[in-house]
Amino acid sequence: MARISIERKHIFVFLLIVIATTATIIIYKFHEYKPLTTYTYYVYDNYGNGYGIPMAFRADLRKANNVSIYPDIPSVYNIIWNPDNRNITIAFANSSDNGLVAVDAFEITYKLGVVFGVYNMTTNFTANVISSYDNITANESYPVIALIPPSMTNSTSVLAINNVIYIQGNTTEGFDLATIKFLMSVFDIKVG
């Protein structure tokens, strides 16, 4: 009788381990493939008190994390958070994608505007219709964010050159993901 009792305990422990392992794998896979479209950006005051600003995004942050950024994330971050920054120009050329450009431009200005307001930054935003993406000029006080929609590029990336940040996507989803990658860089959002 004692022998059967010991075997049942071993079987019970083995089944518990199998169930726990299976549950862990299922939970991990569900979490891994569930789109991450919200993020809480935390702001801290001079006394260390923090509160979160909830942000909703149009696409998955994990997918956006894979968009290439040149030369690197700190270059983009430093252009936007430069203390001399007075006005950010959103530049775009007329195209069949003007609606998409307007949506992504709104997402950029709204999210940056909310966070700038919390920090009492007086940076303004202006829109500028341009005829070409060549020879855009900017400086530390007046950086430019150039939005290049799918009808005008065959690449998806974020590129920072001489205080101009080029956000480009070769598909509608790619353009949204590049916009989100830009915002992730600016807000130092890390996802796994």
Say what the pLDDT of residue 26 is. Answer: 75
Map tokens 């600003």 to a residue: 53
Say what the pLDDT of residue 32 is. Answer: 58
Residue type, 78: N
| Backbone phi and psi for residue 149, each to the nearest 5 degrees, phi listed first | -80, 175
CA 184 to centroid of chain Cα atoms: 3
pTM of the model: 0.82
Segment 127-154 mean pLDDT: 95
Could you tell me how many residues make up the chain?
Answer: 192
Distance, CA of 157 to CA of 164 (rounded, Å): 14
Q: How confident is the model at residue 25 (pLDDT cuts 50, 70, 90)?
A: confident
84-114 confidence digits (pLDDT tens)? 999 999 999 998 999 999 999 999 999 999 9
Question: Looking at domain 65-186, does it have CATH number 2.60.40?
Answer: no
Map tokens 């855009």 to a residue: 136
Please give the share of the chain, as a percent, with pLDDT higher than 70.
92
Domain spans, the chain: 1-34, 65-186
Tell me: pLDDT of 6 over 60.
no
Tell me: pLDDT of 20 over 90.
no
Tell me: pLDDT of 1 over 50.
no
Q: What angle do the packed helices 172-186 and 98-118 form, to 10 degrees? A: 10
